[in-house]
């Protein structure tokens, strides 16, 4: 990955919270906890998942860069949603978490050196996992979930 490509991914990473919040702003209150199917997440659950995922992601890049032999733990996101009772948790602190985690990570990302981006660790679910893999995944993460929110609302309106 070139420095220019990395810079572009980092800018997408920066834009993620605003994109997610824009999608959320279009959600009617009555639709927040509506699920498009029994095994699909509501908008509310999507936002809470994003907060947990971004928190995990923030640590993952730090482990990748700072540890000699980093091992990144996977987790069962559906089990987290069920066990942690996402519908019973408020959205605003989750949004604040997303903003804070990304705001805190960006200065670090912008100062990483080539050797940092070359770092490789292991992920308990997906195997070999490097800093550039992390950047590709997390630069797109909130955009992906913003689109999921938009699909949920389109389905809610057409039900």
Q: Where do the domains of the chain lie?
A: 3-158
State pLDDT tens for residues 131-157. Answer: 999 999 999 999 999 999 999 999 999
Mean pLDDT (whole number) for 47-68: 97
pLDDT score of 51: 98
Q: Give this prediction's pTM.
A: 0.95
Mean pLDDT (whole number) for 52-64: 97
Tell me what the pLDDT averaged over the chain comes to. 97
Q: Which long-range contacts (CB under 8 A, 24 or more apart) does 28-36 make?
A: 28/153, 28/156, 31/152, 31/153, 31/156, 32/91, 33/87, 34/152, 34/156, 36/151, 36/152, 36/155, 36/156
State pLDDT tens for residues 110-123. Answer: 999 999 999 999 99
Share of the chain above pLDDT 70, in %: 100
Mean pLDDT (whole number) for 95-112: 97
Q: What number does CATH give the domain 3-158?
A: 1.20.120.450
């Amino acid at each position: 990955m070139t420095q220019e490509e990395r810079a572009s991914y980092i800018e997408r990473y920066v834009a993620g919270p605003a994109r997610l919040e824009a999608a959320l702003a279009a959600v009617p209150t009555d639709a927040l906890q509506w699920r498009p199917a029994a095994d699909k997440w509501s908008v509310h659950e999507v936002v809470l998942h994003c907060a947990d995922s971004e928190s995990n992601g923030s640590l993952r890049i730090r482990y990748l860069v700072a540890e000699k032999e980093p091992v990144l733990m996977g987790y069962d996101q559906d089990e987290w949603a069920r066990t942690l009772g996402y519908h019973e948790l408020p959205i605003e602190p989750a949004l604040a978490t997303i903003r804070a985690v990304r705001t805190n990570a960006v200065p670090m990302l912008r100062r990483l050196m080539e050797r940092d981006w070359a770092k490789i660790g292991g992920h308990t679910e997906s195997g070999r996992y490097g800093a550039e893999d992390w950047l590709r995944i997390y630069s797109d993460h909130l955009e992906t979930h913003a689109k999921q929110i938009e699909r949920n609302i389109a389905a809610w309106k057409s039900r």
